[in-house]
Amino acid sequence: MSTISLCMIVKDEEKHLKDCLDSVKGLVDEIIIVDTGSTDDTKNIAKRSNAKVFDFKWCDDFSKARNESLRHATKEWILVLDADEIIDKDDHDKIKRLIDTDEVAFAFDQWSYIDQKEPKAKKNTNRFSHPFYISHRPVRLFRNNLGIRFMNRVHELVEHSLKEHNLKEVKTNIIIHHFGSLKG
């Protein structure tokens, strides 16, 4: 069976990190966390989840920090999450089936929950109590050691790198639940 490294960058994420890491227990084989300067309990929470934690001096470039996390990954696949995101346990088996295919990259449906209606917002009917979400499909799961890297100082993505390497992504219906857009 194929293996997965979870790669994350964090700073002062004690409020969300435990929920994120709990959501991938039993799915990932390794947790790589690059900390860009936390002053709260973030690093201790990560270490309690057996994460490998690496300090990274913030240089105003999200891609550089994300690529540092990729540099430490040792497993066959890389899953990228932010600390304010979770994956439902119901989707673990779907992800395990994906990584046993010949594909190289998968886009997930990221639902960013919001409390007020916006033009592109959709009505939420799942178990989370937030009434709306905005959806987009970033690549969040890809094979390690193919030269895939994040690009762009902000709004960092691997999609440009995939194109440079003539690699294709596959869209999935797996949802990443993102809570960072919520107030409070």
The pLDDT of residue 183: 60
| Cβ contacts of 54 within 8 Å, gap of 6 or more | 32, 33, 34, 35, 68, 69, 72
Q: What is the mean pLDDT of residues 59-74?
A: 98
Share of the chain above pLDDT 70, in %: 99
Query: What are the tens digits of pLDDT across the range 88-129?
Result: 999 999 999 999 999 999 999 999 999 988 999 999 999 888
- 82 forms beta bridges with none
User: How far apart, in whole angstroms, are the C-alpha atoms of residue 160 and residue 141?
Assistant: 15
Query: pTM score, two decimals?
Result: 0.96
Domain residue limits, the chain: 4-178
Q: What is the mean pLDDT of residues 132-144?
A: 97
The pLDDT of residue 18: 98
Q: What is the DSSP string of 86-132?
A: EE-GGGHHHHHHHTTSS--EEEEEEEEEESS--TT-EE--SSS--SE
The pLDDT of residue 65: 98
CATH superfamily of 4-178: Spore Coat Polysaccharide Biosynthesis Protein SpsA; Chain A (3.90.550.10)
> Using an 8 Å Cβ cutoff, are 27 and 99 in contact?
no
Q: How many angstroms from the chain centroid is the CA of residue 183?
A: 21
